[in-house]
Amino acid sequence: MNYIVYDLEATCWKKKPKDFVNEIIEIGAVKINEQRKIIDTFEAFVRPVVHPILSDFCTELTSIEQSQVADAEGFKEVISNFKNWIIDNGQNNYWLCSWGFYDRKQLEKDCLLHQLPDAWVGQHISIKHQYQRVKGQKRPIGCKSAIKQEGLTFEGTHHRGIDDAKNIAKIFLKYFDDWIFKAE
């Protein structure tokens, strides 16, 4: 079994335009095995097609530059590479783990937009909501707040897929025995 702790960044605007459609622009992921070892990482930018020009707000929030997405592969190519990376040596034995449900829903939306199957996204848990349960909190909190609450150091740039995934993995590993793996 592999655990794929991942985070997505998507197109965004300070004020939503009428034709508001978020598209994934970065996938960052950490692969953790049953022995609780980080065995690999995945990072890729994705070229958006509905709104190919990033808003200033999006660049400020994510630090992702226009040139990084303009030179990137499209969603179909990136998601194919990501799925091949997830399915290690033909073993289709994994759980997708993200901080909340946004990332799962965004993967499903982008698959729909690009007319790709999305059943593979269903093996997913929300670390954010399970962390709330584990800690007995009234409401879920953000990843950066959870890192601080745990006395850990947030490393890298917040709202960068790979950095957020690595930080989420810290919490995932700390509470490894507390997660409930069932489709949410």
What DSSP assignment string belongs to 126-177? EHHHHHHHHHT-SS---HHHHHHHTTPPP-S-TT-HHHHHHHHHHHHHHTGG
Q: Can you give the pLDDT at residue 130?
A: 97
Q: Let me know: does 121 contact 104? Beta carbons within 8 Å.
A: yes
Q: The tokens 């930018």 sit on which residue? A: 45
Number of Cβ within 10 Å of residue 64's Cβ equals 22
Confidence category of residue 46, pLDDT binned at 50, 70, 90: very high
Q: Where are the domains of the chain?
A: 2-178
> Tell me, what DSSP letter sits at residue 119?
G
Checking 155-159 for CB contacts under 8 A at 24+ apart, the result is 157/63, 159/9, 159/61, 159/62, 159/63
Active site residue 9: yes
Token readout for 139 is: 């409401």
Q: Let me know: does 134 contact 47? Beta carbons within 8 Å.
A: no
Which 3 state secondary structure label does DSSP give 2? strand
Active site residue 129: no
Q: What is the torsional sign of CA 144, 147, 151, 152?
A: negative
Q: What proportion of the chain, given as a percentage, has pLDDT over 90?
A: 90
Lowest mean pLDDT among 59-68, 69-78, 85-94: 85-94
91 pLDDT higher than 80 = no
183 pLDDT higher than 90 = no
Instruction: Give, in words, the CATH class of 2-178.
Output: alpha beta
Against a cut of 0.85, is the pTM above it?
yes
Catalytic residue among 60, 124, 159, 184: 159
What is the rounded average pLDDT of the residues 55-78? 97
